[in-house]
Amino acid sequence: MAVANQKGGVGKTTTAINLGAALAEMGSKVLLVDIDPQGNATSGVGIAKSDITHDIYEVLIDEAPLAPAIKHTSRTGLDIVPATLQLAGAEVELTTQIARETRLKGGLAPVLGDYDYVLIDCPPSLGQLAINGFTASDQILIPVQSEYYALEGLGQLLQTIDLVRKHFNPDLDILGVLMTMFDARTNLSAQVVSEVQQHFANKVFKTVIPRATRLAEAPSFGESIIDYDSSSRGAKAYRELAKEVVRRYGD
């Protein structure tokens, strides 16, 4: 599953980490794949730069095997393929390579049997890295911030998804649109949610992720919200989302 939206700061990484941890808590084996050069998912699950010997860049550019790059995290059942800043070069380097769109798919193929879910944390762009994410996925989860201009850019995202479907991955679907950073104290958040529901109807997840300080704090401790503050609102919301995701995959 790709977690994608070309806007930055909408909650992609927060969702990839915490949905992953919530699924792992339910007993699933989950692989997070960080394809954002910023490496926020990598640091957010507690992997230090100094501990990384292989990363996703080598898989995408050198076609190195992916398995040696997998790292366990402190959350049982949650593994990650880390990204480092060298991935920034991949966006340009991929444009001159053969079969560039399927590099991630090819890298993941040998390990798919080891996991129930693979969550790909996409970068805030619609370039070669995101296209690799979409080509390797059967579902896309789109986090949307409950703020002004929530719908802005989503048309372009849907177009890119259509292009990938047409050329590389006919089975690609949108699993759902997730409203994030919902602020119950403002009318604005509620208005934005209903506007997004008008556009995406039942594609919008029933679970809404609240704006919660604990969610923003957790990554600096290298922990998911499930481990950082298990009884917090954010942890409860991501557990709810995990259940909804499991149900939607079953449908």
Name which position in 6, 11, 101, 105 contacts ligand ADP (CB under 6 A). 11
239 binds Mg ion (CB under 5 A): no
Report the nearest approach of ligand ADP to the CB of residue 167 (Å). 26
Q: Do residues 37 and 123 make contact, with C-beta atoms less than 8 angstroms apart?
A: yes
CB of 111 to Mg ion, least distance (A): 22
Q: Which is nearer to Mg ion, 42 or 207 (CB)?
A: 42
Candidate list 6, 13, 145, 180; residue touching Mg ion; CB under 5 A: 13
Sheet holding 117-121, edge to edge: 71-72, 78-81, 30-34, 117-121, 2-3, 139-145, 173-182, 204-210
Strands (E), 4-145: 30-34, 71-72, 78-81, 117-121, 139-145
Q: Are 93 and 242 in contact (CB under 8 A)?
A: no
* From ligand ADP, Mg ion, none, interface partner of 212 (C-beta below 5 to 8 A by class): ligand ADP
Instruction: Measure Cα distances from 175 to 1, 2, 79 in Å.
Output: 8, 10, 22
Side-chain half-sphere exposure of 230, counting CA atoms within 13 A: 3
According to CB under 6 A, which residues from 136 to 195 bind ligand ADP?
180-181
Beta carbon of residue 86, minimum distance to ligand ADP (angstroms, whole number): 19
Q: How many residues bind ligand ADP (CB under 6 A)?
A: 17
Instruction: Choose which of 4, 6, 12, 182 interacts with Mg ion (CB under 5 A).
Output: 12
Structure tokens given for 234: 């954010």
Q: Which stretch binds Mg ion (CB under 5 A): 24-32, 37-45, 146-154, 178-186?
A: 37-45
Residues 6 or more apart in contact with residue 24 via CB below 8 angstroms: 30, 75, 76, 77, 78
Amino acid at 136: A
Q: Considering only residues 187 through 226, tell me which ones interact with ligand ADP, judged by CB under 6 A.
A: 209, 211-212, 215-216, 219
Site string for ligand ADP, 40-79 (x = CB under 6 A): x---------------------------------------
Neighbours of 51 (CB within 10 A): 10
Q: Which is nearer to ligand ADP, 146 or 169 (CB)?
A: 146
Residue of 5, 6, 15, 40 that binds Mg ion (CB under 5 A): 40
**Nearer of residues 111 and 126 to ligand ADP, judged by Cβ:** 126
| DSSP structure class, residue 251 | -
Residues binding Mg ion (CB under 5 A): 12-13, 40
